[in-house]
Amino acid sequence: SPCAPYVCPMPPPASTQGARVFEEADPLVLSGGAALSEVDVVFDTYGTLDRDAGNAVLITHALTGDAHASDWWATMVGPGKPVDTNRFFVICPNLLGGCNGTTGPRSTDPVTGRRYGLDFPILSMSDLVAVHRRLIAHLGVSRLYAAVGGSLGGMQILQWALEAPDEIARAVLVAASSRLTAQNIAFSAVARASITGDPDFADGQYADGAGPRQGMAVARQMAHITYVSEENLERKFGRRFQRAESQPGFGVDFAVESYLDHQGSKFVERFDALSYLCFTRVMDYFDPFPHSPDGIASPDRADGTDGTGSPSGAEADSAGGWPDFLVLSFTSDWRFDTRHSVRIARELVGRGARVDFREIESPWGHDSFLFEIDGYQSAVTSFLA
């Protein structure tokens, strides 16, 4: 069971579709120089697209998410929710490099006839965005009413807004980062080492149903600890034992250990190790503001101004042309703490964008973006209105 109250309404009916958005005559040239001659995308849609295609909202998923937004983000997407499927045409695609239908390391390389495996190119955030930009064009949408994403999803939207600001009218970035800290990179490095060090990793050439299951489970357990807060774990588990009495030893004795075992077991059944390696590296290298002089240090004010309304830390490039931004962080998120969101807000304001930044009170850690929280859903609802 989840570590916080979770609203699970009846999800709206979804249409799961697939599209080939790049092909041999028009390949995807990646930012690193490699090319993919075929790129397929699987995506869910909800609602109906208006005649003028003006009501399209893109949902971008986080590290281990998928296209089924109404399942994992039921607090945000659905009838009467902030991203109202009665009002909007909602699109949620899987990511390039993933394992849920969109081209990734377990796909067949049309050149060799074999799975890519570890030969799948290293991707950048820009590459993920390039595929989704092509998908949106394929669907007949030239400008999104809004794009909404949490964590890695928010990072994708930030990259898109910087590359093609005219294609998004409103951007909602929740618990996101514009530059991972050394600590964040270290967590991902240990997770990857757990996966690649598993004897069943087999240099990435494992068979269907096989692979580094133990390494993946441990990677997920460690990552999950970083997604929740200490208060969260104390509230739910404390030092309670899994059984009526303690059974000392090196097996599962505490309730929190059983919970982590469950998280690891679920994860290996639904996600692929190579995609996990791929996406964690995309996040490590992401740094769209490389010349920002002070990393994630706070500006003079949380809204990125010096108190007079003038941008601090950068000069405005343009007075217009940007989406409107809603940037949200959570008080207990120590994986991407509020300084990460403040940096984003400051840099965007410095480029002339209009930014509404808010820190939301929550005890649930980084995963707060998935839950029903006072002031959170209402902020998104108001922004999208």
Catalytic residues, which ones?
A: 151, 333, 366
Closest CA to 90 of 79, 102, 101: 79
By CB neighbour count within 10 A (0-12 exposed, 13-18 middle, 19+ buried), where does 236 fall? middle
Beta bridge partners of 224: none
User: Can you list the positions of beta strands (E) in 186-249?
Assistant: none
3-state secondary structure at position 328: strand
Nearest-angstrom CA–CA distance, 369 and 326? 14
Provide the pairing of β-strand 15-22 with 39-46: antiparallel
- Angle, alpha carbons 375-380-385 (nearest 5°): 125
Strand order in the sheet with 56-60: 15-22, 39-46, 89-93, 56-60, 146-150, 170-174, 324-330, 354-360
Eight-class DSSP state of 162: H
DSSP state of 266: H
Query: What tokens were used for 346?
Result: 């400051």
> How open is the CA angle 300-301-307, to the nearest 5 degrees?
85
Q: Return d(Cα 59, Cα 169) in angstroms, integer.
A: 14
